[in-house]
Structure formats: structure tokens, C-alpha cells
Structure 1
């Protein structure tokens, strides 16, 4: 078998883990299952990710990176905070919710697994801290770039946006109703703008 750099293997294993997790769920996805999905020896898998926790943390990071990339590519921050919130939420919803049901299920399952597994609780906290940090950074850049000030901290604003999106996403995963989702997103955008008090 040809040598493959650890950084390349790492990306392969994360992609394989996401596929396996979506197909089998967190509880039934072991490092052995991921190694098989990646077509790599178990020893190599264990060298790159010595524990399931490290693998799950890397998967969470990759999911958050996907979200950050969507926001970076589509939320134009030059138009101020309200515009960035609208563009960011529209892009997130279109690319990662309406057409990404499996990704959303994976996120919720990772959260529940972490909360229910002793010693893994910090994974769930880390997951939501990263989501909020990504949104806070995007809001901060939008407001500061337009010379706007807000009446709440960007961290608080981001947590409220994440909470709203989380609720709307869970409703949509349970019952995909595009009209209701659009109405909910519009309300969330208005609430976020009001909370920010630009």
C-alpha cells in the first residue's frame, strides 16, 4: 500500500466518518467502521485518531468549517449587519438545511451522543461554542465594516441567532414545510435586527 501523508489521511478519515455517521449513527460508528469506509488499515486509523472522541471532535470541526465557509462565501458584510444576517441565513438555509437533511441529523446526533456519554459532554459545549463564535465573528465584521454599533454583545447576538436557527432547523427536519420555514426565517431576521438595536 502506498504511503499517504497523515494530513491527507486525516481528511479522508473525517470524510469517511461523516459518511459512516450519517449511515449508521454515532453509537454504531466505531473507528473500525470508519477505517473500513476509508479503505485504510485500522492501525493507520488509530494512529491518526487514537480515540473516538478525537475523531468526533474533528467531525464537529469539519461541520462548523462548512458552516463558516457558507457564511464567508455568501454573507457580504459590507452592507451592514441587517443585510449580512439576511444573506447569511438565506445561504445557510438553502445550502445546509433545505438540501442537507443528513448533515442536520448528524449535528443533532453528535450533540445528543456527547451529552449522554460520560466524559464527552465537552464535545457538545465545544460544538455550540464554535457555532456561536463563527456567527459572532461574521456579525462583528458586518457591523464594524459599516460603522454600526449594537446594544448587545456580538456573542449574545450570535447565541440568539444560533438558538433560533437551531429551533427552525429541527422543525424543518421533522416536517419539511418550506413556506413555514421561510416565515420563521423572516421572523428570526427581524428579531435579530431588533435585538442588535443597530
Structure 2
């Protein structure tokens, strides 16, 4: 077997685990099954990931970072806060939800597994902190560039963006109905835009820590 650097082997096995998990679910996926999916000996699998828990942690971390990167890349920050919200939410849905229901199921399954597993609880908390921080950051940047203010703290707005998307995702994977889901997504977007109460008058807004932010005129 040709030599593969540790980082590349790690990525290979995590990618194989995501495929196996999407097919079999968390409970039915073993290290042996992932090794077979990756086309490597079980010993190689166990050298990189000595336990299933370590593998599941790596997969969840990988999924979290992928989702955070989509959030970060999706928002157009040059059109103001409302535009960033609309663009970011729509891009998230089209890139990570539609046609990827199995992976969304696995992500939620991994989150619940982390909450129930000793030593992994913090990973579930970090997941939502990560998403919230990314969304809050681009909301704040979009508002700053446009000289706008937000009616609520950016951290709160971000938490509600994530919470609403989470609920819509679960409805979508439980009962796939693309047209209806798009309508609901648009309705939720309007609610979040209304909550943001975007103003371009330079009123001081609040940053993620609740401190005053923006410029006065």
C-alpha cells in the first residue's frame, strides 16, 4: 500500500465514514465498515482512529466546519444586512439541504450522540456556538459596510437564524416537500429580516458581545 501522509489519511477516513454513516446510520456503522469503504486494512483504520467515538467526533467536527464555511462563503456582504441575510439563508438551503437530506439526518444523529456520550457533550455545544459566531460575524460585517444598524444584538439574530434553519431542516428531512419548504424558508427569512429592523441612519447597533457598535451621525 503506498504511503499516505497522516493528514491525508485522516481526511480519507473521515470522508469514508460520512458515506458509511449516511448509508447505515450511527448505530450500524463500525470501524470495520468504514475501513472497507475507504479500501484500507482494519489495522490502518484503528491506527488513525483507535475507537469509534474518536471517529464520530472527527466526522462531526468535519461536518460543522463544512457548514460554517458555507455560511461564511454564502453571504454577500456588500449589499447590506438584509441582503446578506437573504443571500446567506438561500445559499445554505440550496447547497446543504436540498438533495442532501441523508447528511442532515446524520448531522443531527451525531449531535444527539454527542449529547448522550460522556466527554462529547461540549462538542454539541461548540457546534451551535460555531454556527452562531459565523452568522453573527457576517451579519455585523454587512451592516458595518452599509452603515446600517440592527434592532437586536447580532449574536441573538444569529442564534435565531440557526434555530429557524434547524427546525426547517428537520421538517424537510422528515417529509421532503421542496416547494413547501421553499415557501416556509421565504416566510422565515421575512420574519428574521423584520426582527433585524435594519436601518441605514447610523444608529448605534450592538455587536456580538452586546457592546455598542456603528457610527453616530
**TM-score of the superposition, structure 1-length normalised?**
0.90
5+ unaligned residues in a row in structure 1: which ranges?
A: none
The match for 1:175 is 175
Report 1:119-134 matches (<5 A): 119-134=119-134
Q: Which structure features the higher share of helix residues?
A: 1
Alpha-carbon distance between aligned partners in 1 of 2:124 and 2:111, rounded to the nearest angstrom: 5
2:17/2:59 contact within 8 Å kept? yes
CA RMSD of aligned residues (A): 1.8
Is the deviation greater in 102-111 or in 118-127? 118-127
1:54 aligns with 2:80: no
The match for 1:116 is 116
Report 1:27-106 matches (<5 A): 27-106=27-106
Alpha-carbon distance between aligned partners in 1 of 2:84 and 2:172, rounded to the nearest angstrom: 23
Alpha-carbon distance between aligned partners in 1 of 2:146 and 2:75, rounded to the nearest angstrom: 14
Alpha-carbon distance between aligned partners in 2 of 1:152 and 1:60, rounded to the nearest angstrom: 30
- CA offsets 1:64-103 (integer angstroms, 9 cap, x no match): 2322333344321111111111111111111211111111
Alpha-carbon distance between aligned partners in 1 of 2:134 and 2:90, rounded to the nearest angstrom: 16
Aligned residue pair count: 198
**TM-score of the superposition, structure 2-length normalised?**
0.83
2:13/2:35 contact within 8 Å kept? yes
